[in-house]
Each structure stands twice: as C-alpha cells, then as structure tokens.
C-alpha cells in the first residue's frame, strides 16, 4: 500500500451521550467521528479560498466495526484521502483505542465537492487533489 501523503489525526473521549443500550459507543457516533475528522482535515489543509468555494457531501459510507469503544475511552481518529478526482474524494478513517492502539473501526467514504451556494457538484483543482490524495 502506498503511504498516504497527508495523514490527519484527532483524539476524542467517549462521553455518556455516545453510549447505547449495549453499554458501548453507538454506531452513529462512529459515523459522526468519521465526518468530524474529515471536516477538520479539510479545514486544516485547504486554503481559505478553497474553503469558500468548495463544500462537501457524502455519497457513500462503508464502516466496519471491529471492537467496541466504551465510556471514558480516549479514541484516536486517523484519516487520509486515497484516490481524488475532480468530482470525488475517497477517504479512509481508522478509529483506535488510544490506550494500546486496538483497532475499533475502519471506514471508507466517498465525498463529492459541491458549490456552497448552489449545492451542485463542483470540480476541485489539481492543486487541491495533490495536497490531499495518494
């Protein structure tokens, strides 16, 4: 596998509202984390101009759950962009327990750049694709 050009990381703590009936993190929370780290990555790397002219919508989420996160856990989120075209970005995310690095979940999402004003798909520049993708 090629090494991603830009790995982005965040750390989160599991909160009481994240817990479901089975006493572990609810599946929707994992999805929220996938979206939050993608947004944070975009804001950290994209220029102010790019952020003004490009917004993102999800076309597809694929999530595999490996082990449960529990109340009070610190969780490491890691994301990177795989293939990026003018109209789609493939993004990968790993979620691991901070203490010991146990893999909790993996995700592959497909994002489409859109014009923030119209909500219609828009193309991203080669420069943006180069800064984010493999």
Return per-residue pLDDT of the chain as tens, 134 residues: 444 458 999 999 999 999 999 999 999 999 999 999 999 999 999 999 999 999 999 999 999 999 999 999 999 999 999 999 989 999 999 999 999 999 999 999 999 999 999 999 999 988 888 888 76
- Domain of 52? 8-132
Alpha carbon of 109 to those of 18, 20, 66, 101, 127: distances in Å?
Answer: 21, 24, 17, 22, 21
Asked if residue 1 is part of any domain, the answer here is no
Asked if residue 104 is part of any domain, the answer here is yes
Asked if residue 19 is part of any domain, the answer here is yes
Given a contact cutoff of 8 angstroms between Cβ atoms, the answer to whether 107 and 92 are in contact is: yes
Asked if residue 17 is part of any domain, the answer here is yes
Asked if residue 2 is part of any domain, the answer here is no
Terminal Cα-to-Cα distance of the chain (whole angstroms): 10
Q: Based on the structure, what is the number of domains in the chain?
A: 1
Asked if residue 56 is part of any domain, the answer here is yes
- The CATH number linked to 62 is 3.10.129.10
């Amino acid at each position: 596998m090629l090494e991603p050009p830009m790995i982005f990381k965040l750390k989160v703590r599991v909160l009481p509202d994240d817990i479901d009936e089975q006493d572990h993190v609810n599946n929707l929370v994992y999805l929220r984390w996938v979206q939050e780290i993608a947004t944070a990555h975009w804001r950290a790397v994209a220029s102010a101009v790019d952020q003004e002219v490009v917004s993102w919508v999800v076309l597809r989420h694929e999530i595999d759950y490996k082990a449960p996160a529990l109340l009070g856990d610190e969780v490491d989120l890691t994301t990177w962009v795989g293939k990026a075209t003018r109209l789609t970005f493939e993004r990968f995310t790993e979620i691991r327990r901070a203490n010991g690095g146990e893999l909790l979940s993996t995700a592959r999402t497909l994002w489409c750049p859109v014009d923030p004003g119209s909500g219609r798909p828009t193309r991203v520049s080669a420069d943006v694709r180069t800064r984010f993708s493999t």
